[in-house]
Chain A
Amino acid sequence: MGHGRNATRIWLVVALSLASMAGLEPVRQAELMAAPLLQPLEPLLLWALPDQPDFRDLAPQAPALGAGRVVGSGQPSDAATATRAHAGVNASAAQSAWVAWMAEVMRRPPAADGWRLAALPVLSFDEPRGQLVLAAGQGPLPAGTPVTHRGVLLGFLRPARSGSDDARRDDGTARVSLLGQPGCRPVAAAVEPGDGREPIWCLVSSGAQGPQLTRPDTPLPAGSGAYARTRDVTALGDGVPASLLLGRLRRPQAEQPGGGLLPRHTTRAQLEPLLDPERVRHVTLQVPSNWQPERYRMQAHVLRSACSEQRLVLDRGSSDGVGVGDVVLQDGALVGRVRRVGWVACEVARGAPSGPQLVEVSQGLVLPLDLAVDMWPGERRAAPGRPVYAGTLAGGGLVAGRVAMAADGRLSVSPPALDLRRGVTLLRR
C-alpha cells in the first residue's frame, strides 16, 4: 500500500516536471512563486555580490522621450541618473535626432486646439480582416479618426462596439480599418496626372482587390503611377485632412491579340497602397490632449538570485497589474520586456524588443537598424559602438544597446548591462 502511494507521488512529480518542460503556462507561472520565498535573502546577496558593470557611458545619451519622465519621476534612482546626465556629452544631439525621427513618422498637418498628434505602436496586423491592432493607451479614442504613417493615410479607427463613438476596446487595443478593406469608409481623393494638368477628383472606396478609385462621369487618366491624395472636403462635412497620400494609380490594362497590353479607359481603377501594413510599427493619429500613451509606471526590484544574461525575475506580478509585453528600463536604458507573469513576480526577457530599432549613424542622423553590413551605404554605415534605440513607442528613445561587430562579420546589438543594486521601472507597452 505504502509502496503504491510512493509510486503515485513520484509519478505526480514526474508529470509536473514534464508539464513544466513542455512549457505549460500555469506551471511555469507557478514556478515564479519562488520569488517571494527568496526575497528575504536578497539583502545578503546585495551585500556579498561583486560590483556589477553599469552603462554609465551609455545612459546620458538616452533621449528625453519616455526617458525624460523617468529622470523626473522622484524615484530613488534620480540622483544617480542626474549624475550620469551631467556627465553626458551627446545627450542633446541624440535627443534632437530622436525628435526629428518622430517628426518624420508624424508628417501630418498640425493638430487642432484641444488635440495633439501622437504616435501609437502597432501591436499586430490582422490580415484576414485587413485591420491593424494598436495599443490604445488611456482614455477614449474617437472612432473614425484618420490613421496615418509618414503622411500616408492608412485607414480609420473602428468603433469598439457597433454604434459606439469610442474606438478603445476593453483590452486596451484599438483597431484600424485599412483603406479599401470591407467596412472602411470611402474617401474623397484627387489624382495628380502630372504635366501641369489639373488634378482629377474621384472617390476611393472598397473594392474586391483593395482600394479602388472611381470617377463616375469621366474615364480615369491612362498614365499609370499617378499619386492619389486626399482632398479638402470640409465644406461637405468630412474632416479628413487634405493632401494625405492614398496610393498610386494602377493602370487598367486590356489584353490585345498577340499578347500585348494596352491601357483601358475605364471609370474605375485600382489604387496601389504605398505601405505594407505588416511592416508598419507606428501610426499617427490626432488624440485628445489628455490622452496618455502609458497606462502605468512602477518601480520594481530585480531578484539577484534569479538573474542571468537572458532573463530576470522582478518582484512585481499580475497582482500589481503587470502584463506580458511591458517594457522594463533602468535610467532610460531598455532592459527587456516582460515575458511571463506570475501572481507576485514576473519574468523578463532581456534585450531589445523584436520591433524596429534605430541607430544613430552620425550626429543627429537616426536610421532604422539593419544588421547586415552590406545594407549600409558608405558614410551611413552604423559603426560599432554607436547607440541603438528601441523603436517602439513605450520604449521609444530608450537606449537598447550599442552596435557591436559579431564574430561572423555581421553587426549585432550588445545590450546595456544592468545595475542590480538599483531598481528598474516598468512601463505598460
Chain B
Amino acid sequence: MIYVVFLAALVSAPLLTLGTAWLGPAAPDPFVPAAVWAAQCLRVRQLPWAAVALGWMRAFVLAEPAGGQVLCALLALLLAARVGPAGSSGRPLLTTAVVIALSWWAVAALLSWVAGVLPGAAGNLLSGPSNDGSGLLLGALLLLPSPLLAAWRMRRARAEVFAR
C-alpha cells in the first residue's frame, strides 16, 4: 500500500504545478487528498515513509528544502491517523482532510515564522506560495462530496435490498 502513496505523491506534484499555474496560490492542493488516503489506509508504522514521500514531492514543487514539508506531513498524518477509518458514512474522511489541512498549514506557518525570526534560516525553511493555507483548505474541500457519495451509495444499497 505504501507504494500507492508514493505513486499518489508523484502524481500530486505535477497536479499542484498545474493548479498553481492556472489558478495561482489558492489552487486546491492535491497533496491533501493523497495524505487523507495515506492516513486512512496505512498502518501507523508506515506513516513516516508516507510523510517522506508526500513532503519531499511537495517541497520539490514549491522549491523548498524537503525537511520542512516532511515535518508538516508527518505531524498531519500522525494527527489524522487518530480520527479513525472512514467507514460507510464518509464523514470522517472530510474530518481527516480538514485535520490534515489545518495541521499542515499550522506547522508550515510556524516554520515560516521561525524562518523570519531566525537569522540566516530564511532559505532553509518554508517560503513557498502554497503555504498560506488557502490551497490546503481548498484541497480538503475536494473531499466534500465524499459524505454525499457515501449517502448516495447507502440509499442505493437500501433501495436494492427493498427491491428484492
Contacts and interface: CB of A to CB of B under 8 A. Distances in A.
A2 B65 contact: no
B67 A17 contact: yes
A123 B148 CA distance: 64
Interface stretch (B26-34, B50-58, B135-143, B149-157): B50-58
Contact of A22 (B21, B71, B78, B124): B124
Contact of B66 (A17, A37, A44, A45): A17
Contact of B124 (A23, A38, A310): A23
B59 interface: yes
B70 A16 contact: yes
Interface residues of B, number: 36
B90 interface: no
A6 interface: yes
Nearest to A313: B60
Interface stretch (A212-220, A238-246, A276-284, A301-309): A301-309
Interface in A1-58: 2, 5-6, 9-10, 12-14, 16-23, 27-28, 31, 34-35, 37-38, 41-42, 44-45, 48-50
B51 A13 contact: yes
Nearest to B51: A13
A79 B68 CA distance: 43
Interface string B39-62: 000001100110110011101111
A311 interface: yes
Contact of A6 (B44, B68, B124): B44
Contacts of A21: 65, 67-68, 111, 121, 124-125
Contacts of B63: 306-308, 310-311
Contact of B48 (A9, A20, A305, A311): A9
A34 B57 contact: yes
A421 B79 CA distance: 41
A343 to B, nearest CB: 15
Given A21-B124, A41-B11, A49 B67 contact: no
Interface residues of A, number: 38
Contacts, number: 101
A14 B74 contact: yes
B22 A50 contact: yes
Nearest to B115: A21
A2 B45 CA distance: 8
Contacts of A13: 48-49, 51-52, 70, 74
Contacts of A5: 45
B18 interface: yes
Given A6-B44, A21-B125, A28-B65, A38 B74 contact: no
A123 to B, nearest CB: 23
Contacts of A50: 21-22
Given A6-B44, A38-B10, A41-B14, A31 B124 contact: no
A331 to B, nearest CB: 22
A23 B67 CA distance: 9
Contacts of B76: none
B60 A31 contact: yes
21 contacts: A6-B44, A9-B49, A10-B78, A16-B52, A16-B67, A17-B71, A17-B74, A20-B68, A23-B123, A37-B10, A38-B10, A38-B57, A38-B60, A41-B14, A49-B21, A50-B22, A304-B17, A305-B61, A306-B63, A308-B62, A310-B63
Interface of A: 2, 5-6, 9-10, 12-14, 16-23, 27-28, 31, 34-35, 37-38, 41-42, 44-45, 48-50, 304-308, 310-311, 313
Interface of B: 10-11, 13-14, 17-18, 21-22, 44-45, 48-49, 51-52, 55-57, 59-63, 65-68, 70-71, 74, 78, 111, 121, 123-125, 128
10 pairs of A and B residues whose beta carbons are closest in the complex: A20-B67, A17-B67, A308-B63, A21-B67, A13-B48, A9-B48, A34-B60, A17-B70, A41-B14, A305-B17
Given A38-B14, A308-B128, 12 more contacts: A6-B48, A13-B70, A17-B68, A20-B66, A31-B56, A37-B10, A38-B13, A38-B60, A49-B18, A49-B21, A305-B14, A306-B60
